[in-house]
Amino acid sequence: MALSRSKLLSATFLGLGLASAASAQVLDGRVTDQTGAAPLEGARVVLEELNRTTTTDRFGKYRFGGVPEGTYNLTVSYIGAPNATMPVVIDTDRATLDVKLGDDVRYMENTIIVGSAAAQAGALNQQRASNSFLSVIDSDGLGSFPDTTVADSLQRLPGLSIKTDQGEGRYVSVRGINPDLISASINGVRTPSPEDRRGVLLDGVPSDLLDGIEVQKSLTPDVDADTLGGVINLKTISAFDRDGRFIRAKIEGAYNEISEEISPKAALTYSEVFADKFGVALSANYQDLRIEAHNNEADEWSQLDDGTFYLSDGAEHRWYGLNRERLGFVGNFDWRVNNSTDLYLRTLFNNYEDDEVRNVLAFRDLGDVVEEDDDENEVVADGSTLTDTSASFPLNETQAEVRVRREVRQIQTIAIGGETVLNDWKTDYEISYAYAEEDDSDNHDAAFRFEDIQDVVPGNITLDYSDPKILRLSEGAILDAIYDPANYNLDAFEREFTANEDTEVAAKFNISKDGLLGQIPVTWKGGLKIRDREKIRDVNVLVYEDDSINLADYSTGNLIPDWRIGNEQPTWPDANLTRSLRNAFTDDDLDVEGSFFDSNGEDYKIDEQIFAGYGMGTFNIGDLTLVAGVRVEQTNVDLEGRVVLEDELEAVTTNFSNDYTHVLPSINAKYAFSDTLIARGAYYAAVVRPAFGEMAPFFFINDDRDEAEIGNPNLDPLEANNFDLGLEFYPTELSVMSVGVFYKDISNAIFPTTYDIEDLPDSIDLSAIPGEFLNGIEEGDEISPGVVDTGEIEEVATFINVGDSEIYGVEFNYVQNLGDLSEALNGFLLSANLTLSDSESTLPDGRKVSFLQQSNTVWNMALGYDKGPWDLRVSANFRGNQIDELVDEDLDRYTDDRTLVEASAKYTVNDNIQLYVEGKNLTDAPEYYYFGNQRRLSQYDEFGRTFIIGARFTY
């Protein structure tokens, strides 16, 4: 019924708009380069005598409504080109004036269209034209750096940084803020996520499919309010981005120094406009990327009463061999029906296959260096020694494991809509479908154990962590035994068939009208939107056990060549040999209880509906542009999960519902002291709903870690009041200096937390768990998978809302064409930005911590040379450390700071051919995580350098 009501209201608004259309005069037109082939987005258009200002859209179009009859001067300014002023006469209902800027040269040579200078010009003009705080990567900028993914490209923008996976950018942070609190869209359609979080995977979408990226850091009422840091909008190509036929092809190869393999990549783009009415834009991308990563990590640290820290669980060496295959396709169709109506169909399909082999050598029970004395105090065990840099003790168990995983991810978006303009009235309308899927149905995990090592080779082994990033075991007979595969027997063999699906259907309708409020030009705008989202996680696991199977039969006996970290890493268990075990077991080998629990404990289904409406006005008060209004969002959530009862192979379905409404005001102000000096201010309210994996009503026991993991459907959404102030100065062509401050007052931030089992009854008392949700189960009921006695659970992990939080900071940005400062520097381009922030959250126990995953320092710097046939770039990107997970006051998990250095060199052979070489991670920067102090390892990864060579053809 809600959708029907929305459609009825939309139709009513449209009818009112058509009925009220008057015969007011309209002035419109298009701003392009001198050839008319390339539209200029973000050009500032001023109707001088009326002191009215507007800006061009992505197709170079501008529009003034309600213009009295008369003769006027129209001035157009665009950073990177001289201003143009020309007269225009308004004596009919509609007048059209097209404007061409730039040098009178051929399209391929026009300096405001091609190259790194064009990228800066396009981005700066769109930023200057915006009525909100906006950062932009123009279409030319997407090809200026060695970027594989959208996330890699975004790290160039002020205040943006990335989180990586196996060395590739995956998630994006704005102003250092947790990526899960940042929203993303494709052509304005919210992008779903195949994971159990709201943070969108941006490593699967190739940058070659895009025509530009916008990051809106302050919201206006016509934008979904589900973000704390900003909205990332990916714009795919349109045929009307340029006139006529356009063809671009690219082919390249990438070489990684660790994998020592060449990864091919190719892209092809075609667009054409037929009869100035119908546009077709098609783009396809393919990449076959080979990655190798070397890793070691520690599971947990603890502290003795004397202050000494020690490894209290296990540690691992990990080798990753990955083959990531990306296939993307964009098909966009635009139809200019007449002078009043444009219609479009926009589609994107992306398929990402991640074939991963992971070999693990795990050293278990490292905490045996400590024991309890008669008074139950932890002390160093007899015969063991412990220092700040090493531990010597009897090692009793190791594990060799191979995980073979083929993860297939798909993202699809389809949007059909249009825009109709009738005199002072404008409507736009859209129906969209977005789908994301993650399919893990071709996996297996084989774990072999070497137990009772002391019975085979007695004595101590020394674990050296004097280099905190790399753990090393002492040489000797014990280590020799560890590297003998004949000492390992199968502990468990797991097959996984898991699927995650995220589907969103949305419809929206907006209507606006140009008018006057007294003598003040104003555009009134209102709209309705409905979003219907379904999230499903279906886990299916089969666990087999047969300890008669020996690792020697599934080992090639080799070691990883050129291993970079600590002790050598074996290639066994062999991924190909263990595949034969997939069909080697009988029903008698199946761990029925463990399989049933693992297959049901993490399943959930979530239905989320958001109904939104808004009203706003854009007021042009001389040099002041004011956008003010309010958005209302109503959220209805239905959640379904499963809980496995103790000693019963029965999954109880749990249900939970919630609904809430938020009134979200916002105001954005822009004051133009001149064409070159602009001040901005903004306030907006935002609401970020809990991540799916946080609020899903699931109960899962991790056998290996003796931990129960519980979702919390009683979580409240994060609410925030956001404030921004900024000043922008454009002193010369292709330059800007800006400074801004921001403050975010946050309520109900969501943090993961862990309770020690000592704080709960021996059997998990559900009333002691925050957010009790297990309908139909009495307090005090025991929950376990049957294979794990609840008395062995040491920790209960869940999610909670914390008290008030705040984030505040300052942002600097400097972009300069150095040739404007000195003729000797002609062709050199510089960009640099710095974001400094601080944050604080108050936990339920009163402890003060930084906001989760908040980096206090982010900076980016790039120096380029763009002159003649050469286009050279070198860049550096820094992301400061951040709290990644709460553990304890001295043991919280941190992500260490990281600096990435990259470079590219392009040579234009002629109008059609460009050759390039690129380098990524040139300083071989690792990724490092630690517990509380950089002396205490959590995870350390090395990915190596990557070098790229390629060619681009444009017609």
Does residue 844 surpass a pLDDT of 60?
A: yes
How confident is residue 441, by pLDDT bands cut at 50, 70 and 90? Answer: confident
131-145, 302-316, 645-659, 842-856: lowest mean pLDDT where? 131-145
30-44, 259-273, 304-318, 442-456: lowest mean pLDDT where? 30-44
Question: Would you state the pLDDT for residue 759?
Answer: 56
Q: Regarding beta strands 651-672 and 677-688, do their DSSP bridges make them parallel or antiparallel, or are they unpaired? A: antiparallel
> In this structure, are residues 714 and 771 in contact, taking their beta carbons and an 8 Å threshold?
yes
The structure tokens listed for 343 are 């219609």
Rounded mean pLDDT of 26-52?
Answer: 86
Does residue 420 surpass a pLDDT of 90?
A: yes
Question: Would you state the pLDDT for residue 168?
Answer: 79
What value does the mean pLDDT of the chain take? 86
- pLDDT tens per residue across span 906-930: 999 998 999 999 999 999 999 999 9
Instruction: Name the nearest CA neighbour of 147 among 202, 97, 83.
Output: 202
> In this structure, are residues 481 and 487 in contact, taking their beta carbons and an 8 Å threshold?
yes
Does residue 705 surpass a pLDDT of 70?
A: no
CA angle 61, 65, 71 (to 5 degrees): 95
Distance (Å, whole) CA 348 – CA 359: 35
Does residue 469 surpass a pLDDT of 80?
A: yes
Rg (CA), the chain: 30
* Domains, in order of start, for the chain: 24-106 (2.60.40.1120), 261-516+547-577 (no CATH)
> In this structure, are residues 815 and 831 in contact, taking their beta carbons and an 8 Å threshold?
yes
> In this structure, are residues 151 and 909 in contact, taking their beta carbons and an 8 Å threshold?
no
Rounded mean pLDDT of 653-673?
Answer: 93
Q: Which residue has the tokens 């959590």?
A: 938
The structure tokens listed for 639 are 């959640």
Question: Would you state the pLDDT for residue 600?
Answer: 86
Looking at the DSSP bridge assignments, the partners of residue 902 are 875
Element (DSSP H or E) covering residue 750: strand 750-756
- pLDDT tens per residue across span 527-578: 999 999 999 999 999 999 999 999 999 998 889 989 999 899 999 999 999 9
Does residue 111 surpass a pLDDT of 70?
A: no
Does residue 11 surpass a pLDDT of 60?
A: no
Q: Which residues of 53-90 are buried (b: 16+ CB within 10 A; e: fewer)?
A: bbbbbbbbbbebbbbeeeebebbbbbbbbeebeeebeb
Across 497-501, 711-715, 797-801, which has the greatest mean pLDDT? Answer: 497-501
Q: Which residue has the tokens 């105090």?
A: 377
Beta-carbon neighbour count of residue 596 at 10 Å? Answer: 21
Exposed / middle / buried, residue 141 (Cβ in 10 Å: 0-12, 13-18, 19+): buried
Q: Report percent pLDDT > 90 for the chain.
A: 56
How confident is residue 605, by pLDDT bands cut at 50, 70 and 90? Answer: very high
Q: Which residues of 177-213 are buried (b: 16+ CB within 10 A; e: fewer)?
A: bbbbbbbbbbbbbbbbbbbbebbbbbbbbbbbbbbbb
How confident is residue 740, by pLDDT bands cut at 50, 70 and 90? Answer: very high
CA–chain centroid gap for 805, Å, is: 22
Rounded mean pLDDT of 853-866?
Answer: 91
Q: Is the peptide bond before 573 cis (omega within 30 degrees of 0)?
A: yes
Q: Is 366 helix (H, G, I), strand (E, B) or coil?
A: helix
The structure tokens listed for 322 are 């990955």
Question: Would you state the pLDDT for residue 774?
Answer: 41
Question: Would you state the pLDDT for residue 703?
Answer: 57
Whole-angstrom CA distances from 571 to 484, 559, 872 are 12, 5, 41
Beta-carbon neighbour count of residue 657 at 10 Å? Answer: 11
Question: Would you state the pLDDT for residue 128?
Answer: 86
Distance (Å, whole) CA 80 – CA 650: 69
- pLDDT tens per residue across span 320-353: 999 999 998 999 999 999 989 999 999 999 899 9
Question: Would you state the pLDDT for residue 427?
Answer: 96
Rounded mean pLDDT of 702-706?
Answer: 58
Euclidean distance between the first and final Cα of the chain, in Å? 51
> In this structure, are residues 191 and 413 in contact, taking their beta carbons and an 8 Å threshold?
yes
Does residue 12 surpass a pLDDT of 50?
A: no
Element (DSSP H or E) covering residue 120: helix 116-129
Rounded mean pLDDT of 392-404?
Answer: 96
Does residue 35 surpass a pLDDT of 80?
A: no
The structure tokens listed for 183 are 């929203």
Does residue 120 surpass a pLDDT of 90?
A: no
Q: Report percent pLDDT > 70 for the chain.
A: 89
Does residue 116 surpass a pLDDT of 70?
A: no
Question: Would you state the pLDDT for residue 660?
Answer: 95
Question: Would you state the pLDDT for residue 392?
Answer: 96
How confident is residue 886, by pLDDT bands cut at 50, 70 and 90? Answer: confident
Rounded mean pLDDT of 862-867?
Answer: 90
